[in-house]
Amino acid sequence: MKVKSICCIGAGYVGGPTMAVIALKCPHIKVRVVDINQSKIDLWNHKNLDKIPVYEPGLKEIISKTRNKNLFFSTDIDLAINKSEMIFLAVNTPTKTYGEGKGMAADLTYVENCAKTIGQVATSDKIVVEKSTLPVRTAEKIKEILSLNGQKGVSFEVISNPEFLAEGTAIKDLFKSDRVLIGSEQTKSGNEASKALVSIYENWIPKEKILTTNVWSSELSKLASNAMLAQRISSVNSLSALCEKTGADIEEVSNAMGHDKRIGKEFLKSSVGFGGSCFQKDILNLVYLSRYYGLNEVADFWYEVIKINNYQKTRFSKKIINELNGTIKSKKIGILGWAFKKDTNDSRESASIYITKDLLEEGAEIYVYDPKVSKKRVYNDLEMVFKSDNFSQSDIESIVKNVHVVDDYKLCFNSASSVSILTEWDEFKKYNWRELIKMMEKQHIIMDGRNLLDKNLMNKITNKYFSIGR
Protein backbone atom coordinates (compact mmCIF):
# COMPACT_ATOMS: atom_id res chain seq x y z
CA MET A 1 0.00 0.00 0.00
CA LYS A 2 1.42 3.39 -1.00
CA VAL A 3 0.19 5.99 1.45
CA LYS A 4 -0.81 9.33 -0.10
CA SER A 5 -2.54 11.11 2.73
CA ILE A 6 -1.80 11.13 6.45
CA CYS A 7 -2.76 13.17 9.47
CA CYS A 8 -1.41 13.69 12.94
CA ILE A 9 -3.60 14.47 15.94
CA GLY A 10 -1.59 16.67 18.29
CA ALA A 11 0.39 19.68 17.03
CA GLY A 12 2.92 19.81 19.86
CA TYR A 13 6.66 19.27 20.20
CA VAL A 14 6.39 15.87 18.51
CA GLY A 15 3.49 16.28 16.07
CA GLY A 16 4.77 19.57 14.58
CA PRO A 17 8.40 18.68 13.86
CA THR A 18 7.82 15.01 12.86
CA MET A 19 5.09 15.87 10.38
CA ALA A 20 7.10 18.78 8.99
CA VAL A 21 9.97 16.39 8.26
CA ILE A 22 7.67 13.77 6.70
CA ALA A 23 6.16 16.50 4.50
CA LEU A 24 9.63 17.64 3.44
CA LYS A 25 10.95 14.17 2.70
CA CYS A 26 7.74 12.86 1.09
CA PRO A 27 6.40 15.56 -1.24
CA HIS A 28 3.99 12.96 -2.67
CA ILE A 29 2.18 12.69 0.68
CA LYS A 30 -0.38 15.22 1.90
CA VAL A 31 0.15 15.81 5.61
CA ARG A 32 -2.47 17.33 7.91
CA VAL A 33 -1.62 18.27 11.49
CA VAL A 34 -4.65 18.88 13.68
CA ASP A 35 -5.18 19.98 17.26
CA ILE A 36 -8.05 21.03 19.54
CA ASN A 37 -6.08 24.10 20.56
CA GLN A 38 -7.10 26.85 18.12
CA SER A 39 -4.50 29.38 19.27
CA LYS A 40 -1.71 26.84 18.81
CA ILE A 41 -2.90 26.09 15.28
CA ASP A 42 -3.08 29.85 14.58
CA LEU A 43 0.56 30.12 15.62
CA TRP A 44 1.56 27.20 13.37
CA ASN A 45 -0.12 29.14 10.53
CA HIS A 46 1.40 32.50 11.54
CA LYS A 47 2.93 34.51 8.72
CA ASN A 48 5.92 35.32 10.90
CA LEU A 49 7.81 32.04 11.24
CA ASP A 50 9.41 33.25 14.47
CA LYS A 51 5.99 32.90 16.06
CA ILE A 52 5.44 29.16 15.46
CA PRO A 53 4.78 27.56 18.86
CA VAL A 54 7.77 25.21 18.93
CA TYR A 55 11.30 26.59 18.84
CA GLU A 56 13.66 24.05 17.26
CA PRO A 57 16.78 24.89 15.25
CA GLY A 58 15.99 24.24 11.56
CA LEU A 59 12.22 23.88 12.00
CA LYS A 60 11.04 27.20 10.63
CA GLU A 61 13.05 26.69 7.45
CA ILE A 62 11.22 23.38 6.85
CA ILE A 63 7.85 24.92 7.64
CA SER A 64 8.53 27.68 5.13
CA LYS A 65 9.20 25.08 2.42
CA THR A 66 6.23 22.79 3.14
CA ARG A 67 3.40 24.76 4.76
CA ASN A 68 0.34 25.05 2.56
CA LYS A 69 2.08 22.92 -0.10
CA ASN A 70 1.75 19.43 1.34
CA LEU A 71 1.67 20.34 5.06
CA PHE A 72 -1.47 21.84 6.59
CA PHE A 73 -2.31 22.87 10.15
CA SER A 74 -5.94 23.01 11.21
CA THR A 75 -8.50 22.27 13.91
CA ASP A 76 -10.74 20.30 11.54
CA ILE A 77 -10.03 16.92 13.10
CA ASP A 78 -12.97 15.08 11.50
CA LEU A 79 -11.97 16.13 7.99
CA ALA A 80 -8.36 15.14 8.59
CA ILE A 81 -9.42 11.71 9.84
CA ASN A 82 -11.63 11.06 6.87
CA LYS A 83 -9.14 12.24 4.28
CA SER A 84 -6.26 10.16 5.68
CA GLU A 85 -5.28 6.54 5.23
CA MET A 86 -2.96 6.70 8.20
CA ILE A 87 -3.56 8.62 11.44
CA PHE A 88 -0.73 9.38 13.87
CA LEU A 89 -1.56 10.03 17.51
CA ALA A 90 0.90 12.52 19.02
CA VAL A 91 -1.20 13.85 21.89
CA ASN A 92 0.15 14.38 25.38
CA THR A 93 0.28 11.51 27.89
CA PRO A 94 1.12 13.25 31.18
CA THR A 95 1.36 11.61 34.58
CA LYS A 96 -2.10 11.15 36.12
CA THR A 97 -2.97 13.79 38.70
CA TYR A 98 -6.07 12.04 40.01
CA GLY A 99 -7.60 8.68 40.88
CA GLU A 100 -6.05 5.24 40.50
CA GLY A 101 -2.35 5.52 39.69
CA LYS A 102 -2.24 9.24 40.64
CA GLY A 103 1.30 10.61 40.39
CA MET A 104 2.61 7.49 38.62
CA ALA A 105 0.51 6.11 35.74
CA ALA A 106 0.16 7.80 32.37
CA ASP A 107 -3.07 9.72 31.82
CA LEU A 108 -4.50 8.18 28.67
CA THR A 109 -7.58 10.44 28.48
CA TYR A 110 -6.29 12.35 25.45
CA VAL A 111 -5.37 9.19 23.57
CA GLU A 112 -8.70 7.57 24.41
CA ASN A 113 -10.61 10.67 23.24
CA CYS A 114 -8.78 10.54 19.92
CA ALA A 115 -9.52 6.83 19.48
CA LYS A 116 -13.19 7.48 20.20
CA THR A 117 -13.33 10.32 17.65
CA ILE A 118 -11.55 8.26 15.00
CA GLY A 119 -13.99 5.39 15.59
CA GLN A 120 -17.03 7.65 15.33
CA VAL A 121 -15.86 9.66 12.34
CA ALA A 122 -14.01 7.21 10.06
CA THR A 123 -15.99 5.91 7.09
CA SER A 124 -13.14 3.87 5.60
CA ASP A 125 -10.35 1.59 6.90
CA LYS A 126 -7.57 3.35 8.83
CA ILE A 127 -4.12 2.59 10.13
CA VAL A 128 -3.74 4.22 13.54
CA VAL A 129 -0.14 4.90 14.58
CA GLU A 130 0.80 5.36 18.23
CA LYS A 131 3.43 8.12 18.21
CA SER A 132 2.74 9.23 21.78
CA THR A 133 4.67 7.38 24.47
CA LEU A 134 2.31 4.84 25.98
CA PRO A 135 2.26 2.07 28.57
CA VAL A 136 2.69 -1.47 27.27
CA ARG A 137 -0.52 -2.96 25.89
CA THR A 138 -2.18 0.41 25.15
CA ALA A 139 -2.66 -0.64 21.51
CA GLU A 140 -5.08 -3.27 22.80
CA LYS A 141 -7.18 -0.59 24.53
CA ILE A 142 -7.13 1.69 21.49
CA LYS A 143 -8.27 -1.15 19.27
CA GLU A 144 -11.11 -1.91 21.65
CA ILE A 145 -12.27 1.74 21.71
CA LEU A 146 -12.06 1.92 17.92
CA SER A 147 -14.14 -1.19 17.41
CA LEU A 148 -16.70 -0.21 20.08
CA ASN A 149 -17.23 3.19 18.42
CA GLY A 150 -16.50 2.26 14.81
CA GLN A 151 -18.98 2.03 11.98
CA LYS A 152 -19.90 -1.35 10.46
CA GLY A 153 -17.51 -2.59 7.80
CA VAL A 154 -14.72 -0.17 8.77
CA SER A 155 -11.60 -1.84 10.12
CA PHE A 156 -8.65 -0.44 12.03
CA GLU A 157 -5.07 -1.56 12.46
CA VAL A 158 -3.15 -0.11 15.42
CA ILE A 159 0.62 0.01 15.17
CA SER A 160 3.26 1.47 17.49
CA ASN A 161 5.90 3.89 16.21
CA PRO A 162 7.41 5.63 19.23
CA GLU A 163 9.31 8.86 18.72
CA PHE A 164 12.92 9.12 19.88
CA LEU A 165 13.69 12.75 19.00
CA ALA A 166 15.12 14.99 21.70
CA GLU A 167 14.04 18.60 21.91
CA GLY A 168 16.61 21.12 20.77
CA THR A 169 17.97 18.62 18.23
CA ALA A 170 14.62 17.37 16.89
CA ILE A 171 15.26 18.13 13.23
CA LYS A 172 18.74 16.62 13.28
CA ASP A 173 17.36 13.56 15.08
CA LEU A 174 14.50 13.16 12.60
CA PHE A 175 16.77 13.54 9.57
CA LYS A 176 19.28 11.00 10.85
CA SER A 177 17.47 8.77 13.30
CA ASP A 178 19.56 6.11 15.07
CA ARG A 179 16.59 3.87 14.47
CA VAL A 180 12.91 3.96 13.57
CA LEU A 181 10.88 1.44 15.50
CA ILE A 182 7.62 0.01 14.22
CA GLY A 183 5.64 -2.54 16.21
CA SER A 184 2.66 -4.31 14.72
CA GLU A 185 0.46 -7.31 15.34
CA GLN A 186 1.97 -10.42 13.81
CA THR A 187 -0.98 -10.91 11.44
CA LYS A 188 -1.37 -10.34 7.70
CA SER A 189 -3.11 -6.99 8.18
CA GLY A 190 -0.67 -6.03 10.95
CA ASN A 191 2.30 -6.74 8.69
CA GLU A 192 0.72 -4.77 5.84
CA ALA A 193 0.16 -1.77 8.08
CA SER A 194 3.76 -1.98 9.26
CA LYS A 195 4.99 -2.15 5.63
CA ALA A 196 2.93 0.91 4.73
CA LEU A 197 4.67 2.91 7.45
CA VAL A 198 8.09 1.49 6.52
CA SER A 199 7.50 2.76 2.98
CA ILE A 200 7.11 6.32 4.32
CA TYR A 201 10.33 6.25 6.35
CA GLU A 202 12.24 4.58 3.52
CA ASN A 203 12.12 7.90 1.69
CA TRP A 204 15.04 9.07 3.84
CA ILE A 205 15.96 6.51 6.50
CA PRO A 206 18.29 3.63 5.49
CA LYS A 207 16.46 0.28 5.54
CA GLU A 208 18.73 -1.28 8.17
CA LYS A 209 17.77 1.44 10.63
CA ILE A 210 14.06 0.64 10.41
CA LEU A 211 13.35 -2.01 13.04
CA THR A 212 10.11 -3.94 13.07
CA THR A 213 8.91 -5.80 16.16
CA ASN A 214 5.72 -6.90 17.83
CA VAL A 215 3.57 -4.13 19.32
CA TRP A 216 4.40 -4.75 22.97
CA SER A 217 8.18 -4.76 22.40
CA SER A 218 7.89 -1.47 20.58
CA GLU A 219 5.80 0.17 23.32
CA LEU A 220 8.15 -1.09 26.06
CA SER A 221 11.33 -0.18 24.15
CA LYS A 222 10.31 3.48 24.25
CA LEU A 223 9.82 3.55 28.03
CA ALA A 224 12.96 1.46 28.50
CA SER A 225 15.10 3.75 26.31
CA ASN A 226 14.09 6.84 28.27
CA ALA A 227 14.62 5.06 31.57
CA MET A 228 18.12 3.93 30.53
CA LEU A 229 19.08 7.45 29.40
CA ALA A 230 17.77 9.07 32.59
CA GLN A 231 19.47 6.38 34.66
CA ARG A 232 22.84 7.39 33.23
CA ILE A 233 22.27 11.01 34.25
CA SER A 234 21.21 10.03 37.78
CA SER A 235 24.21 7.71 38.05
CA VAL A 236 26.60 10.46 37.10
CA ASN A 237 24.78 13.02 39.26
CA SER A 238 25.02 10.73 42.29
CA LEU A 239 28.76 10.52 41.68
CA SER A 240 28.97 14.32 41.42
CA ALA A 241 28.02 14.55 45.11
CA LEU A 242 30.83 12.16 45.96
CA CYS A 243 33.26 14.19 43.85
CA GLU A 244 32.44 17.34 45.80
CA LYS A 245 33.37 15.55 49.05
CA THR A 246 36.52 13.86 47.80
CA GLY A 247 38.16 16.39 45.49
CA ALA A 248 37.59 14.26 42.40
CA ASP A 249 36.26 16.17 39.38
CA ILE A 250 33.08 14.77 37.80
CA GLU A 251 34.04 16.09 34.36
CA GLU A 252 37.27 14.08 34.54
CA VAL A 253 35.46 11.03 35.92
CA SER A 254 32.80 11.19 33.16
CA ASN A 255 35.46 11.62 30.53
CA ALA A 256 37.41 8.63 31.87
CA MET A 257 34.27 6.46 32.00
CA GLY A 258 33.08 7.58 28.58
CA HIS A 259 36.30 6.48 26.90
CA ASP A 260 35.29 2.90 27.58
CA LYS A 261 33.42 1.97 24.39
CA ARG A 262 31.10 -0.24 26.42
CA ILE A 263 30.01 2.80 28.43
CA GLY A 264 30.22 5.52 25.75
CA LYS A 265 30.39 9.29 26.06
CA GLU A 266 26.76 10.35 25.67
CA PHE A 267 24.48 11.21 28.58
CA LEU A 268 27.23 11.37 31.18
CA LYS A 269 27.05 15.12 31.66
CA SER A 270 26.48 16.00 35.27
CA SER A 271 23.85 18.70 35.79
CA VAL A 272 21.48 20.30 38.21
CA GLY A 273 19.09 17.43 37.38
CA PHE A 274 17.29 16.29 34.26
CA GLY A 275 14.04 17.94 33.23
CA GLY A 276 11.74 17.71 30.24
CA SER A 277 8.27 16.37 29.74
CA CYS A 278 9.25 12.73 29.39
CA PHE A 279 12.01 11.24 31.53
CA GLN A 280 10.23 11.57 34.86
CA LYS A 281 6.79 10.73 33.45
CA ASP A 282 8.05 7.68 31.57
CA ILE A 283 10.04 6.31 34.49
CA LEU A 284 7.05 6.76 36.80
CA ASN A 285 5.01 4.90 34.22
CA LEU A 286 7.58 2.08 34.16
CA VAL A 287 7.52 1.96 37.97
CA TYR A 288 3.73 1.82 37.95
CA LEU A 289 3.67 -0.95 35.35
CA SER A 290 6.24 -2.97 37.29
CA ARG A 291 4.22 -2.67 40.50
CA TYR A 292 1.03 -3.57 38.61
CA TYR A 293 2.68 -6.83 37.57
CA GLY A 294 3.90 -7.41 41.17
CA LEU A 295 7.55 -6.69 40.34
CA ASN A 296 8.31 -4.52 43.36
CA GLU A 297 12.09 -4.87 43.20
CA VAL A 298 12.05 -3.76 39.57
CA ALA A 299 9.83 -0.80 40.48
CA ASP A 300 12.11 0.22 43.38
CA PHE A 301 15.18 0.00 41.15
CA TRP A 302 13.81 2.48 38.59
CA TYR A 303 12.30 4.75 41.22
CA GLU A 304 15.81 5.46 42.56
CA VAL A 305 16.54 7.32 39.30
CA ILE A 306 13.82 9.85 40.18
CA LYS A 307 14.95 10.08 43.80
CA ILE A 308 18.51 10.97 42.81
CA ASN A 309 17.19 13.55 40.37
CA ASN A 310 15.15 15.23 43.10
CA TYR A 311 18.15 15.05 45.45
CA GLN A 312 20.32 16.79 42.87
CA LYS A 313 17.90 19.72 42.57
CA THR A 314 17.41 20.07 46.34
CA ARG A 315 21.17 19.85 46.92
CA PHE A 316 21.59 22.82 44.58
CA SER A 317 19.07 25.12 46.28
CA LYS A 318 20.40 24.17 49.73
CA LYS A 319 23.91 25.09 48.62
CA ILE A 320 22.76 28.59 47.61
CA ILE A 321 21.05 29.10 50.97
CA ASN A 322 23.98 27.74 53.00
CA GLU A 323 26.57 29.79 51.14
CA LEU A 324 24.52 32.95 51.81
CA ASN A 325 24.75 32.46 55.60
CA GLY A 326 21.65 30.26 55.83
CA THR A 327 19.22 33.00 54.88
CA ILE A 328 18.13 34.42 51.55
CA LYS A 329 15.12 36.42 52.77
CA SER A 330 14.74 39.53 50.56
CA LYS A 331 18.06 38.75 48.85
CA LYS A 332 18.13 39.10 45.08
CA ILE A 333 18.87 35.92 43.17
CA GLY A 334 19.31 35.76 39.40
CA ILE A 335 18.32 32.67 37.41
CA LEU A 336 19.91 32.29 33.97
CA GLY A 337 17.89 29.83 31.91
CA TRP A 338 14.37 28.55 32.39
CA ALA A 339 14.19 25.95 29.56
CA PHE A 340 14.90 22.34 30.58
CA LYS A 341 17.84 22.33 28.13
CA LYS A 342 19.29 24.66 25.52
CA ASP A 343 17.78 25.28 22.07
CA THR A 344 14.16 24.78 23.11
CA ASN A 345 11.39 27.03 24.41
CA ASP A 346 10.04 24.11 26.45
CA SER A 347 10.28 24.33 30.23
CA ARG A 348 8.24 21.33 31.30
CA GLU A 349 9.74 19.77 34.46
CA SER A 350 12.73 22.10 34.18
CA ALA A 351 15.00 22.07 37.23
CA SER A 352 14.63 25.89 37.24
CA ILE A 353 11.01 25.57 38.37
CA TYR A 354 11.84 23.50 41.43
CA ILE A 355 14.93 25.45 42.41
CA THR A 356 13.07 28.76 42.08
CA LYS A 357 10.24 27.35 44.19
CA ASP A 358 12.68 26.41 46.97
CA LEU A 359 14.24 29.88 46.87
CA LEU A 360 10.89 31.67 46.86
CA GLU A 361 9.76 29.68 49.87
CA GLU A 362 12.83 31.03 51.69
CA GLY A 363 11.75 34.59 50.85
CA ALA A 364 14.16 35.44 48.01
CA GLU A 365 13.53 38.00 45.27
CA ILE A 366 14.02 36.22 41.93
CA TYR A 367 15.09 37.61 38.55
CA VAL A 368 14.75 35.21 35.61
CA TYR A 369 16.27 35.51 32.15
CA ASP A 370 15.85 32.99 29.31
CA PRO A 371 16.43 33.76 25.62
CA LYS A 372 13.46 31.68 24.38
CA VAL A 373 10.97 30.92 27.15
CA SER A 374 8.13 33.46 27.40
CA LYS A 375 7.27 35.43 30.54
CA LYS A 376 3.82 33.90 30.57
CA ARG A 377 5.26 30.43 30.63
CA VAL A 378 7.56 31.15 33.59
CA TYR A 379 4.65 32.45 35.68
CA ASN A 380 2.46 29.56 34.54
CA ASP A 381 5.10 27.00 35.57
CA LEU A 382 5.43 28.56 39.01
CA GLU A 383 1.68 28.76 39.56
CA MET A 384 1.33 25.10 38.61
CA VAL A 385 4.11 23.92 40.90
CA PHE A 386 2.75 25.81 43.91
CA LYS A 387 -0.77 24.64 43.10
CA SER A 388 0.35 21.02 43.01
CA ASP A 389 1.78 21.61 46.49
CA ASN A 390 -1.68 22.80 47.65
CA PHE A 391 -0.79 26.48 48.06
CA SER A 392 -3.88 28.74 48.01
CA GLN A 393 -4.39 31.09 45.07
CA SER A 394 -3.80 34.17 47.24
CA ASP A 395 -0.57 32.70 48.67
CA ILE A 396 0.59 31.87 45.15
CA GLU A 397 -0.13 35.41 43.99
CA SER A 398 1.81 36.99 46.82
CA ILE A 399 4.79 34.62 46.35
CA VAL A 400 4.93 35.00 42.58
CA LYS A 401 5.05 38.81 42.99
CA ASN A 402 8.67 38.26 43.98
CA VAL A 403 9.53 36.94 40.52
CA HIS A 404 10.67 39.28 37.76
CA VAL A 405 11.13 37.88 34.28
CA VAL A 406 13.52 40.16 32.41
CA ASP A 407 14.57 40.67 28.79
CA ASP A 408 18.00 41.97 29.71
CA TYR A 409 20.24 39.42 31.46
CA LYS A 410 22.21 42.21 33.16
CA LEU A 411 19.20 42.84 35.39
CA CYS A 412 19.83 39.41 36.96
CA PHE A 413 23.24 40.57 38.17
CA ASN A 414 22.58 44.08 39.38
CA SER A 415 22.85 44.02 43.25
CA ALA A 416 22.28 40.25 43.27
CA SER A 417 23.58 37.98 46.02
CA SER A 418 23.63 34.97 43.73
CA VAL A 419 23.33 34.12 40.06
CA SER A 420 22.65 30.54 38.95
CA ILE A 421 23.08 29.05 35.49
CA LEU A 422 20.33 26.46 35.12
CA THR A 423 20.20 25.99 31.33
CA GLU A 424 23.31 25.54 29.19
CA TRP A 425 22.47 28.28 26.63
CA ASP A 426 25.60 29.04 24.57
CA GLU A 427 25.17 32.80 25.00
CA PHE A 428 25.89 32.53 28.76
CA LYS A 429 29.44 31.45 27.93
CA LYS A 430 30.01 34.65 25.97
CA TYR A 431 29.05 37.05 28.77
CA ASN A 432 31.67 39.33 30.28
CA TRP A 433 31.58 37.62 33.66
CA ARG A 434 34.29 39.82 35.15
CA GLU A 435 32.19 42.94 34.55
CA LEU A 436 28.91 41.29 35.53
CA ILE A 437 30.25 40.08 38.87
CA LYS A 438 31.30 43.65 39.68
CA MET A 439 27.60 44.57 39.53
CA MET A 440 26.74 42.03 42.23
CA GLU A 441 26.75 42.34 46.02
CA LYS A 442 30.20 42.04 47.62
CA GLN A 443 29.13 38.84 49.32
CA HIS A 444 27.95 36.83 46.33
CA ILE A 445 28.00 33.36 44.81
CA ILE A 446 27.90 32.14 41.23
CA MET A 447 26.25 28.74 40.92
CA ASP A 448 26.91 26.94 37.65
CA GLY A 449 24.36 24.14 37.45
CA ARG A 450 25.59 23.07 34.02
CA ASN A 451 29.38 23.26 34.42
CA LEU A 452 29.18 25.66 31.51
CA LEU A 453 31.91 28.11 32.43
CA ASP A 454 35.67 27.70 32.55
CA LYS A 455 36.33 26.80 36.19
CA ASN A 456 39.91 28.12 36.25
CA LEU A 457 38.92 31.44 34.72
CA MET A 458 35.95 31.86 37.06
CA ASN A 459 38.12 31.09 40.09
CA LYS A 460 40.35 33.98 39.07
CA ILE A 461 37.40 36.37 38.88
CA THR A 462 35.66 35.35 42.10
CA ASN A 463 36.35 33.08 45.03
CA LYS A 464 32.68 32.11 45.15
CA TYR A 465 32.18 30.10 41.96
CA PHE A 466 30.50 26.74 42.49
CA SER A 467 29.70 24.13 39.89
CA ILE A 468 28.52 20.53 40.00
CA GLY A 469 30.88 17.81 41.18
CA ARG A 470 34.12 19.72 40.75
Rule CB under 6 A: is residue 226 a binding residue for ligand UGA? yes
To which H or E segment does residue 291 belong?
helix 279-292
Binding segment for ligand UGA (CB under 6 A), chosen from 25-33, 144-152, 239-247, 272-280, is: 272-280
| H or E segment to which residue 122 belongs | none
CB of 144 to ligand UGA, least distance (A): 25
The one among 107, 130, 157, 167 contacting ligand UGA by CB under 6 A: 167
Active site residue 278: yes
Choose, by CB under 6 A, the member of 110, 204, 267, 303 that binds ligand UGA: 267
End-to-end CA, the chain: 57
Considering CB distances under 5 to 8 angstroms, the limit depending on partner class, which of ligand NAD, ligand UGA, none binds residue 271?
ligand UGA
Pairing status of strand 30-34 against strand 403-405: unpaired
Q: How far is the CB of 94 from ligand NAD (least distance, A)?
A: 8
From the list 25, 143, 222, 332, the catalytic residue is 222
Q: Specify whether 410 is catalytic.
A: no
Catalytic residue list contains 163: yes
- Please count the residues of this chain forming the interface with ligand UGA, following the rule CB under 6 A: 20
- Cα gap 418→195, rounded to integer Å: 56
What is the rounded CA–CA span in Å between residue 72 and residue 50?
18
* Residue ranges that bind ligand NAD, judged by CB under 6 A: 9-15, 35-37, 40, 77, 90-93, 110, 113-114, 132-133, 163, 165, 167, 277-278
Q: Which of 190, 122, 141 is nearest to 161 (CA)?
A: 190
- Candidates 35, 163, 185, 343; binder of ligand UGA (CB under 6 A) is 163
List strands edge to edge, sheet with 86-89: 71-74, 30-34, 5-9, 86-89, 126-130, 156-160, 180-184, 210-214
Buried b (16+ CB within 10 A) or exposed e, 31-59: bbbbbbeeebbebbeeeeeeebbbbbebb
Contacts of 195 (CB under 8 A, 6+ apart): 1
> Least distance (Å) from ligand UGA to the CB of residue 261?
17
Tell me how far, at minimum, the Cβ of 404 lies from ligand UGA, in Å.
24
| φ, ψ of residue 23 in degrees (nearest 5) | -60, -40
Q: List, by residue number, the catalytic residues.
A: 163, 222, 278
- Where do contacts with ligand UGA occur on this chain (CB under 6 A)? 133, 163-167, 226, 229, 233, 267-269, 271, 274-276, 278-279, 340-341
